[in-house]
Amino acid sequence: MSAPKKTARATARPKTRSTKAKAVKPSAAKTDTKPEAVTEVAAPVTLDATSTNAALLARREAAVPRGVASAAPVFASHAENAELWDVEGNRYIDFAGGIAVLNTGHRHPRVIAAAKAQEDRYTHTSFQVVPYEPYVALAEKLNALAPGDAPKKTLLVTTGAEAVENAVKIARAHTGRPGVIAFNAGYHGRTLLTLGMTGKVNPYKKDVGPFPSDIFRAPFPDARAGITVADALQALETLFLTDAQPERVAAIIIEPVLGEGGYHPVPTEMFQALRAICDKHGILLISDEIQAGFARTGTWFAVEHSGVVPDLITCAKSMAGGYPIAGVIGRADVMDAMDPGGLGGTYGGNPVACAAALAAIEAIESEGLLARSSAIGESLRTRFADMGARVAPFRMWDIRGLGAMLAVEFVTDFDSATPDAGLTKRVIAHALKRGLILLACGMHGNAVRIMVPITASDAILDEGMAIFEAALADAMAEEMSLAAE
C-alpha cells in the first residue's frame, strides 16, 4: 500500500524585530488633517515546526470539545489549489474542499491578492457603524447573479446557519406568519432554529432539544424508500390538512441538492410544484444554496437547473474562496420587510471577506468554471460507473448529483440495497492512507461526496480518481479478509 507523498517539512517563519512608532494625537488646531498612522511591524505568529500529527491530535483532544469532529487525523501545514500538505510533509489531493468551500481552490491567487489589498486599507468597521463599498459591491453582484427579473437586495452575514436564520426571520416579517416547512434529510445548520429545520437526528440534533415551534417537516422524494414526487407532494397537502395551516406558513425551505442528506437533487417537477404551491398560498420559497452554490453544480445557483425562481436564496461556503461570509439574496420588497436595525451583525459582511468574494466570483466568471464544473461532473460520472463495475460489482448503488456536486453510494448488494456505511468508511480510510481526502454523507453515512475544487487540473483529477479506485480495491480486499476470519 502506498502512502501519501512526502515533501520537505515546512518550517516556522523567522521572528522579526518589532518596530514601533508612537501615535500622535490629532491637534485641536489641525482638525482638517488626517491623524498620523501608527506604524507597527509585529513579529509573525510562529508555530512549532517539529509538531507531528500525533502530537497535535493529543493537544487537540485536550483543548477542543469532542463534539467538534474532524474527519482526518492529520493537521494542515499548507495548501495550493486542490493539494494539501500536512505538518509531517505528507501530500494529499483534496476531494473535500473544506466541505464545498473551495470551488476556486485553496488560496486562489485572485482571492488572496484581493484579501491582502483590503487588509492594507481596513479590516473592520462594522457595516452598521461605518459602511464600506465592498459590502455594497458584493450585494450588487449577488443581486445580478441571482435568478429572476424582480429587483433584489442582499444581506451579508458570516455563516450559513446565520443566513438561514435571517431568511426565516425575513420571511416571517414579510408574511406576518410563523410557520416554516422543511424536508426530511435536509440540513440547514447547527443553531437551534436551523436544527429544528434539519431533518437528521444523529449527530446534529441528538440530546439538544426541544426545538422551536411552528416548524413542520415533509418527506423528500426518495426512490430507495419508494417515495415518488407525487407521494411527496400529496404528503405536503396532507400536512396542510393535519398540522400546518397554509395561511400560517411563512416559508418552505429546501436544499436544491441535499448536502448532508446524500447529494440527492430536487427533481425539477418537485421544484416547480413547490413554486406553484407557494404562489397559491402566499408562502415564500427559500432555496438553501449554502453547499450547492457558486458553480458547484454548473450554474451559479443549483435552483437554476429547474427554471424556478425562489423568493429568497441563502448562500455561503464557496462564495469567498475560503473566507467566512454568507448571505441572503431576495426580492427587494421581501428583503425590506424588516425595520432598520432588525438585520445585521457585528461581523456581517466583513470587508476582507467581501473583497475575497468579489475576487472568487470574478475567477469563476473569467476562468469558465461553470462549464468546467459540468465537464468534471460528466467525466467523473463515467469513471465512477466503470470503476464500480470493475472493482466493486453490485456495491456502488448510485452515482448522483448535478455538475461537479457528485456522490457515490455503497450498498451491501443490489437486491436488498442495504446501505453499507462500513464499506464507505473503509474506502475513506484507505484513500487517506494513499493521499486522498474524502468525506461521507447521507442519512446512513454510506455515500462518498465529491467536492474537489473546480480549478483542479485534469492531472490532479486523474491522480485522485486513481487513488479512489485503489482505495476501493483495498476496502473490498479488507472486507473479504474479515469475512474469511
The pTM of this model reads 0.91
Give the pLDDT confidence score for residue 29 in this predicted structure.
37
Give the pLDDT confidence score for residue 329 in this predicted structure.
98
The fold of 114-366 is: Aspartate Aminotransferase; domain 2 (3.40.640)
- What does the alpha-carbon distance between residue 241 and residue 70 come to, in Å, rounded to a whole number? 43
Give the pLDDT confidence score for residue 7 in this predicted structure.
55
- What does the alpha-carbon distance between residue 227 and residue 215 come to, in Å, rounded to a whole number? 22
Residue 375, judged by CB atoms within 10 A of its CB (0-12, 13-18, 19+), counts as middle
- What does the alpha-carbon distance between residue 395 and residue 416 come to, in Å, rounded to a whole number? 11
- The torsion angles phi and psi of 478, rounded to 5 degrees, stand at -65, -40
What are 265's strand-pairing partners? 257
Sign of the dihedral through C-alpha 298, 302, 307, 311: negative
Q: Domain boundaries in the chain?
A: 114-366, 369-484
Residue with cell 466541505: 99
Out of 3.90.1150.10, 3.40.1260.10, 3.40.50.720, 3.30.465.10, select the CATH number for domain 369-484: 3.90.1150.10
Give the pLDDT confidence score for residue 43 in this predicted structure.
56
Phi/psi region, residue 105 (left: phi>0; alpha: psi -120 to 50; beta: rest), is left
- The torsion angles phi and psi of 281, rounded to 5 degrees, stand at -105, 5
What are 217's strand-pairing partners? 182
H-helix segments, 64-159: 97-100, 109-119, 133-145
* Beta strand 326-331 pairing with 76-80: unpaired
Q: How many CA atoms lie within 13 A of 417 on its CB side?
A: 7
Give the pLDDT confidence score for residue 405 in this predicted structure.
98
Cα end-to-end span (Å), the chain: 21
Are 114-366 and 369-484 in the same CATH fold?
no
Give the pLDDT confidence score for residue 44 in this predicted structure.
54
Sign of the dihedral through C-alpha 113, 114, 115, 120: positive
Q: How many CB atoms lie within 10 A of CB 367?
A: 16
Give me the tens of pLDDT residue by residue for the chain, a chain 485 residues long: 456 766 544 433 333 333 333 333 333 333 344 444 444 555 555 567 679 999 999 999 999 999 999 999 999 999 999 999 999 999 999 999 999 999 999 999 999 999 999 999 999 999 999 999 999 999 999 999 999 999 999 999 999 999 999 999 999 999 999 999 999 999 999 999 999 999 999 899 999 999 999 999 999 999 888 999 999 999 999 999 999 999 999 999 999 999 999 999 999 999 999 999 999 999 999 999 999 999 999 999 999 999 999 999 999 999 999 999 999 999 999 999 999 999 999 999 999 999 999 999 999 999 999 999 999 999 999 999 999 999 999 999 999 999 999 999 999 999 999 999 999 999 999 999 999 999 999 999 999 999 999 999 999 999 999 999 999 999 999 998 888 87
412-415 long-range contacts, Cβ below 8 Å, gap at least 24? Answer: none
With a CB cutoff of 8 Å and minimum separation 6, the contacts of 308 are 271, 272, 274, 275, 285, 287
Phi/psi region, residue 262 (left: phi>0; alpha: psi -120 to 50; beta: rest), is left
Residue 451, all three cell numbers: 467536492
Tell me the C-alpha to C-alpha distance, in Å, between residue 181 and each of 3, 113, 237, 257, 337. 47, 42, 12, 17, 20
